[in-house]
Amino acid sequence: MENWDDLRIFLAVAQAGSLTIAAQVLKIDPATVSRRIARLEMVHATPLFSKSPKGYELTEAGHGLLAHVDAAQSSLNAGLGTLRGDGEGLTGQIRIGAPDGCANFLLPQVCGQITKDYPELDIQIVALPRVFNLTRREADMAIGVSQPTAGRLVVQKIADYRLHLAASVALWDKFKKPKSLNDLRGLPMVGYVQDMIFDKELDYLEPLDLRRVQLASNSISVQMNLLRQGAGVGIVHDFALPFAPELRRILMDQLSLTRSFFLICSADDRRNRRLNLFAEVLLSGIRDEISRLETLANG
């Protein structure tokens, strides 16, 4: 019979990508972690990790084992939570991958409230400008700006959101309030690094047919701070505007964009009661927060 403690250690290393970090989480010696992983690999005559400059990366066999061990741990957490009566079993750790606009301006409020409602739950928000691989368990679920077309995934639309051109009040007054999109060609533009746009839905400046973005970043948060400093004109989420009172929307009648957020989960988790419950409260929270912030922006 398999030693569950070895599998628990395997799960910690897979999630951390490091023996040292896993040992700190488990509160045991790194040498013990290494020895237990080696034992697990020896028993099954299969390497589960390969060492790389990034740390410990799962092999193909490791990925296959991870899906089952993670599901078993989730079921165990849910069962123990039910016995304790702590919020219908919504306990343990859940990791969400999200684009940084959502991660910075929506998830802090939403996830903060969820942990108040479910105090035994730990939420990790990973804000990266790329698509997350749920098959490799980079996250338990991810938020995307388009629906994936490949992989065994379950996708739910969360909500639409709106974006507009914005500039600092000082910059807009300085350039005497241009009246059309053509007038923007004399102004510095802020936007994404073109070859780092990981989803076509993020190519916000495409309608302007601009050949040059003078100040670019792969992070919407950096772009927002550039705009707040009066460095140029750029596209901003309406739900982010309440966090930047220095900015105002401009030329709204000439350029208005609508995009959508989607919640993406692994099909392997379709029957995972704990993750399904979390998805429900997450969707509801994000929808409410977008509505609240966009209402503030319009006020």
* Residue 97: domain span: 91-299
Domain final position from 89, 110, 128: 89
* pLDDT, position 79: 58
Q: For the residues 73-87, what does the mean pLDDT come to?
A: 54
Q: 48-82 burial by CB neighbour count: b if 16+ within 10 A, else e? A: bbeeeeeebebeeebbebbbebbbebbeebbeebe
**Claim to verify: residue 82 and residue 157 sit in the same structural domain:** no
d(CA 199, CA 144): 9
Domain final position from 28, 59, 89: 89
SS (H, E, C) the chain: CCCHHHHHHHHHHHHHCCHHHHHHHHCCCHHHHHHHHHHHHHHHCCCCEEEECCEEEECHHHHHHHHHHHHHHHHHHHHHHHHHCCCCCCCEEEEEEECHHHHHHCHHHHHHHHHHHCCCEEEEEEECCCCCCCCCCCCCEEEECCCCCCCCEEEEEEEEEEEEEEEEHHHHHHCCCCCCHHHHHHCCEEECCHHHCCCHHHCCCHHHCCCCCCEECCCHHHHHHHHHCCCCEEEEEHHHHHHCCCEEECCCCCCEEEEEEEEEEEHHHCCCHHHHHHHHHHHHHHHHHHHHHHHHHHC
The CATH number that applies at residue 13 is: 1.10.10.10
pLDDT value at 43 more than 60: yes
pLDDT value at 104 more than 90: yes
**Claim to verify: residue 77 and residue 95 sit in the same structural domain:** no
* pLDDT, position 86: 44
The residue with greater pLDDT, 184 or 111, is 111
Q: For the residues 212-235, what does the mean pLDDT come to?
A: 91
**Claim to verify: residue 250 and residue 112 sit in the same structural domain:** yes
The vertex-186 CA angle with 180 and 187, nearest 5°, equals: 90
Nearest to 293, CA basis, from 66, 107, 100, 59: 107
**Claim to verify: residue 18 and residue 140 sit in the same structural domain:** no
**Claim to verify: residue 18 and residue 150 sit in the same structural domain:** no
**pLDDT band for position 182 (cuts 50, 70, 90):** confident
* pLDDT, position 4: 78
**pLDDT band for position 260 (cuts 50, 70, 90):** very high
Q: For the residues 5-26, what does the mean pLDDT come to?
A: 82
* pLDDT, position 194: 80
The residue with greater pLDDT, 63 or 81, is 63
Q: Tens digits of per-residue pLDDT, 188-219?
A: 889 888 877 777 877 877 767 766 788 999 89
pLDDT value at 22 more than 60: yes
Q: Which of 55-64, 140-149, 210-219, 221-230 has the highest mean pLDDT?
A: 221-230
Query: How many C-alpha atoms does 74 have within 13 Å on its Cβ side?
Result: 20
Q: For the residues 156-172, what does the mean pLDDT come to?
A: 91
**Claim to verify: residue 76 and residue 107 sit in the same structural domain:** no
When divided into structural domains, the chain yields a total of 2
* pLDDT, position 85: 47
pLDDT value at 47 more than 80: yes
**Claim to verify: residue 287 and residue 299 sit in the same structural domain:** yes
pTM recorded for the entire structure: 0.69
**pLDDT band for position 10 (cuts 50, 70, 90):** confident
Q: Tens digits of per-residue pLDDT, 107-128?
A: 999 999 999 999 999 999 988 7
**Claim to verify: residue 186 and residue 210 sit in the same structural domain:** yes
Domain final position from 89, 123, 151: 89
**Claim to verify: residue 138 and residue 167 sit in the same structural domain:** yes
Longest dimension (CA), the chain: 76
The residue with greater pLDDT, 272 or 134, is 272
**Claim to verify: residue 289 and residue 220 sit in the same structural domain:** yes
At 3, list the tokens: 């030693």
**Claim to verify: residue 150 and residue 277 sit in the same structural domain:** yes
* pLDDT, position 133: 63
Q: For the residues 59-84, what does the mean pLDDT come to?
A: 69
pLDDT value at 243 more than 90: yes
Mean residue pLDDT of the chain comes to 83
The CATH number that applies at residue 199 is: 3.40.190.290
